[in-house]
Structure 1
Amino acid sequence: MKSTPEHAAIGLRADQIDTPAAVIDLDAMERNIQRMAAFARQNQVRWRPHAKMHKSAAIALLLEQAGACGHCVQKTSEAEALAAGGVRDLFISNEVIAPAKLLRVARLAARLAADGGRLAIAVDSPEGIARLAGAMDAAGSDAGIDVLVEIDVGQGRCGVPPGPEAVALARAVAARPRLRFAGLHAYQGGAQHLRATAERRAAIAHAVHAAAGTRALIEAAGLPVPLVTGAGTGTLAHEATSGVYDELQAGSFLFMDADYAANEPDTTQPAFEHALFIKTQVISTHPTHAVCDAGHKSHAIDSGLPLVHGLAPAHALHYANGGDEHGILHAAGPQARLPALGQTLWLIPGHCDPTVNLHDRLLGVRGGLEHGVVERVIGVDARGALT
């Protein structure tokens, strides 16, 4: 249940925002968008950011205005939520197997096509192709759907091995009248948080080799491969300059998070700023620690605990696990002082994607976290979109 109307936050000073709250620094976010758009143009690659990160149709449309060709999602319900908000070019970069979901996919493909849009989906099995084709037939639309064969280029998750199995799947897709073989999905997610730049570069070199070899085999079999898509925020420079990848799926660049901040910087790609924060307030103080009101119900911890933002190194605070409702703050060094009762702080979440999924709305502040004002309230349209 939402405690206040969404419009009520517009015009609030940043220091008036109730806690805990998910806050976007709009200026930082827009600088990140500009850097990403310029990078894609410079390298002549398409840019299809992952909307599972922000889950917002308004943000998706903002990214498209800056040059994004469309968006990736991971779930059928995410695609439906963004389509309802006006997004018209979507790629479900995941396998969908359940018949009921596939019928939803087929109906969404028809609705988007009728409105001049497009839906694509990934497959990695003959059975998945057969079920998708059956759902398209059952939906009765001749609009069709773009299908990308997913290959495992090192993630160890979904996807067939690069090589002959992918050729067989491409042929199977092309043989179905309502399915269009649209290329290869080759995302190396495991490389995104390898800490050393050299490690990330090596992992993507392997992915590039696998994608290039598979594309050559499919083309030798007589099928054009219009697209190789993949890449994430941690490695996008290597895919963009590979000569093999045509499209970048990076999404976390928009907000960044503490986990990405732990990577060794790569000077070959843009430097993105933190733009998503959790505002929190100190609610209890003690000689050895302070307690804030942002626990795990306000930020995800799967990729580690948040960082306390904006403090000089000598005055840094360490955030420790306090449970669902609380964070425990310790002085990180001998010169650091614990915050006072009632003091507000800004946290950088460990992982932006699931953190966003914990909130109904994001408050967009213009003018910085210290002196800014809430300019936008952005709905998290695909919150809880798990199916």
Structure 2
Amino acid sequence: MISYSLPNERPNDFSRVIPVVRDIIESVKARGDNALYQLTEKLDKVKINNIKVSEEELKTQASKLDPKVKQAIDVAYEQLKAFHEMLVPPNIGGGYQGISFGVVWRSIEKIGIYVPSGKYSYPSTLLMAGIPAKVAKVKEIYVASPPNQEGSVNPALAYVAIKLGVNDVYKVGGAQAIAALAYGTESVRKVYKIVGPGNVYVQAAKFLVSNVVGIDGIEGPTELVIIADETAKPEHVVLDMKAQAEHGPDTYIVLLSNDDELLKKVEEKIMDDKKIYYIIKTKNIDEAIEIANKIAPEHLSLYVKDAHTLMDKIVNAGAISLGNTPPAIIDYVAGPNHILPTNGWARIRGGVTVYDFIKPTMYANVRDINKQLLEASISLANYEGFVIHGKSIGARYE
């Protein structure tokens, strides 16, 4: 199905699940592991014997993985690691008017990673969250993911967990997993920050626990905006659109182009698809960029000539695919993360990086302070009514 105009606002069913999710969270807080066992059997239709995966079980499951998939994980691991190592910021310092100052970066001590699962498992999500955490030197990493139908952990997930050296893996999914990571249970360690995608129940849970634990954001459904000119190949554009549509029926896919021939060919190839695609004719590429910046999409494809130059005009996007680069490759091996902001969050934050797992600690050492700076400090303290602040400063330097 094709729409030739964008909706005034995106549909959002987030609020409808809040009461249900709140009950789940309260149940986990009150009953701990017992609630997790019961909720897993009720919601996932799986009876598990243990919440925390033993080292033996992890190794057994990992040994079942197809060698080709292992190799693919190994290759992706090195590429993603190289990208995130590039981002590690240095500790910096300087000085001015008798004061030395600077910033040192410290890792978050304990983080939880949520990896969704259902018909398929998503080891790439654990790579995307776990690698920047390891590069950031996070000491404790805990992973929660729904159990498979055998009541165990997926082989690919087990292999990645071993490769990352995570502390524990929990066979718990949904809102109950988020609650367990936020508050802790007999088996699940309480963490300081939770990252990872998930369905609307998972995102609602992240929202509700964000007063006690850090979160990466409220994510989903998937979004893709393609800006294309006459250099774009229609068959590639269609593949990119349909690829992102695989994420689910609520995926938001927009094509913006000023090229009539391209639009016509794309329309012909997706006309009978049941997914809704938004196809918009723009006056020029600048207008397309203006629309894209208002949408602030998760994925943005600049399928145009001089893509690197035009990228400077993009101010709101989670990740940008340049030229004939398929957005789908960012989901796996390009380097940038596939855990990206949606629902307009790209206006204020980016995808998960090492910066999600480190925090700046600032310091100052006052030696021979400039007199004018000293007087300014005392005057401001007195003006704000903090007289003892002023005395504390004056007692050392006047």
Larger Cα-atom Rg: 2
TM-score in terms of structure 1 length: 0.29
More helix by share: 2
